[in-house]
Amino acid sequence: MDSRTIGILGGGQLGRMIVEAASRLNIKTVILDAPNSPAKQINALCEHVDGSFANPKDIEKIAEKCDVLTVEIEHVDVPTLKRLRETHPKLQIYPSPETIELIQDKFTQKEHLIKNNIAVATSVAIQSPSEETLAQVGAKFGYPYMLKARTLAYDGRGNFVVKSAESIPEALKTLGGKPLYAEKWAPFTKELAVMIVRSIDGKVFSYPTVETIHQDNICHVCYAPARVPDSIQLKAKLLAENAIKSFPGCGIFGVEMFYLENGELLINEIAPRPHNSGHYTIDACVTSQFEAHVRAVLDLPLPRNFCSFSTSNTNAIMLNILGDKKEKDGELKTCMRALRTPGSSVYLYGKESRPQRKMGHINIIDSCMSECERKLRYIVGEDAEPIV
Ligand code: ATP
Ligand code: MG
Ligand code: MG
């Protein structure tokens, strides 16, 4: 479909699903990550680079092997990407290094959004973390408030809920040593998310608004469409589109939001890459988030409705499969129940099972949401009766 090679910084499950989408279009991909990482397992090439997306030398190596360089994770070494633009003028880098730089520091990301009139939770940088400064934040924001690592955060690792002044010493013990900022508590009724595709010529396209439910800070399930009024779905879509218009470069972006008790929407954070809340698109939409990313970074067509639901009555639930807490590979029982369930698809990422690790996901599709919910109850073991 295209003779150019895509280099991917990061070989986790998101990289693996980009590789799958690219392979269907006969587009070559090379990966930079540890040997046998999930994306490499399904891409039998000897040209992959073993190493780290945070290491300048390794990034330089993969740059030699591709025409377009992209990321499946934002924690990459940005100065090297900027330097590559000078040393490898023909190499295209999407999303742009400036966008990755703005987003990878969650506080800088917030400042950028505020500058662009996008609603976000009120936050403050913590210059020198101490019991005193954290107590000052408590006096200003009230309790609970959220203390967050500015960089290298994922799955809530990097977040600490400061419940009261008494929990400040523990917060410092947990997150001390990292660059920090504090965020006012967002009294949300639901969390919403929208995947946005930005084309090389700067147009933005949005997937349906979805609802995510987190457990222990990790995405547990995602309902598509979100179970909120149409007006809120539209408001979320416009907020996400406006936010992404403010970032240079192209590709797919995940936009996480809080839907507050008072009806207001605030952006929580943005990911400059495919996102967990977009996995449902593989089975529910005309074009998956992964293929949309490949198309966007190669400037391939993005025709009308490519990011719509496949049919006018498609409903979907995505369930994350986390490593079982009690028994190694115990999560495969859930996958087996999903394989028995009509309209359900299982995706495993090829990782070694560890408690609470993201091992795979299941997409459940039906023409009505209550049927998706019934299937979900069977798959998670709440209902004993299999779906026929
Ligand atoms: P991800 O894996 O999505 O990158 P992360 O480690 O960057 O996660 P956040 O998205 O900042 O973490 O927060 C994780 C979850 O914690 C949110 O989805 C939400 O449920 C909760 N949370 C975060 N910030 C706030 C807040 N200000 N008020 C209330 N809850 C919050
Ligand atoms: Mg995050
Ligand atoms: Mg998040």
Name the packing angle between helices 56-63 and 78-87 (round to 10°).
40
Output b/e per residue, 170-190; b: 16+ Cβ within 10 A: ebbebbeebbbbbbbebebeb
Q: Pick the residue whose CA is nearest to atom 4 on ligand 1.
A: 154
Q: Let me know: does 172 contact 129? Beta carbons within 8 Å.
A: yes
For the stretch 303-335, pLDDT in tens is 999 999 999 999 999 999 999 999 888 999 999
- With 90 as the cut, is the pLDDT of residue 34 above it? yes
Other Cβ atoms within 10 Å of 117 Cβ, number? 9
**Nearest Cα to Cα of residue 193 among 111, 139, 131, 270:** 270
- With 80 as the cut, is the pLDDT of residue 1 above it? no
**Average of pLDDT values for 20-27?**
97
Portion of the chain with pLDDT greater than 90, in percent:
94
Residue 117: φ, ψ to 5°: 60, 35
pLDDT band at 220 (very low <50, low <70, confident <90, very high): very high
Residue 263, Ramachandran bin (φ over 0: left; ψ between -120 and 50: alpha; else beta): left
For the stretch 327-380, pLDDT in tens is 888 999 999 999 999 999 999 999 999 999 999 999 999 999 999 999 999 999
Distance of CA 268 from the midpoint of ligand 1 (Å): 7
Distance of CA 275 from the midpoint of ligand 3 (Å): 10
Q: How far is CA 72 from CA 69, 252, 330, in A?
A: 10, 10, 28
Q: How far, in Å, CA of 40 to CA of 355, rounded?
A: 23
pLDDT band at 235 (very low <50, low <70, confident <90, very high): very high
Q: How far, in Å, CA of 227 to CA of 89, rounded?
A: 46
**Nearest Cα to Cα of residue 11 among 88, 64, 76:** 76
Q: Cα torsion for 202, 203, 208, 213, to the nearest 10°?
A: 10
**Average of pLDDT values for 49-61?**
98
Q: How far, in Å, CA of 317 to CA of 225, rounded?
A: 9
**Average of pLDDT values for 270-277?**
98
pLDDT band at 200 (very low <50, low <70, confident <90, very high): very high
Residue 298: φ, ψ to 5°: -100, 5
pLDDT band at 228 (very low <50, low <70, confident <90, very high): very high
Ligand 1 site, CB within 6 A: 121, 146, 148, 153-156, 158-159, 183, 185-186, 191, 214, 217, 256, 268-269
Distance of CA 48 from the midpoint of ligand 1 (Å): 33
pLDDT band at 237 (very low <50, low <70, confident <90, very high): very high
The bridge status of strand 145-149 relative to strand 92-93 is unpaired
pTM: 0.97
Other Cβ atoms within 10 Å of 81 Cβ, number? 23
**Average of pLDDT values for 254-265?**
96
In ligand 1, which atom is closest to the CA atom of 158? 6
Q: Nearest ligand to the C-alpha of residue 276?
A: 1
Cα–Cα–Cα angle for 350, 40, 254, nearest 5°? 75
pLDDT band at 19 (very low <50, low <70, confident <90, very high): very high
pLDDT band at 46 (very low <50, low <70, confident <90, very high): confident
Q: How far is CA 219 from CA 154, 202, 287, 357, in A?
A: 11, 30, 22, 11
Cβ neighbours of residue 305 closer than 8 Å, sequence gap 6 or more:
286
For the stretch 160-189, pLDDT in tens is 999 999 999 999 999 988 999 999 999 999
Q: Nearest ligand to the C-alpha of residue 160?
A: 1
pLDDT at 328: 87
Assess: ipTM above 0.90. yes
Q: What is the DSSP letter of 309?
A: B
pLDDT at 169: 96
Q: Pick the residue whose CA is nearest to atom 19 on ligand 1.
A: 217
In ligand 1, which atom is closest to the CA atom of 154? 6
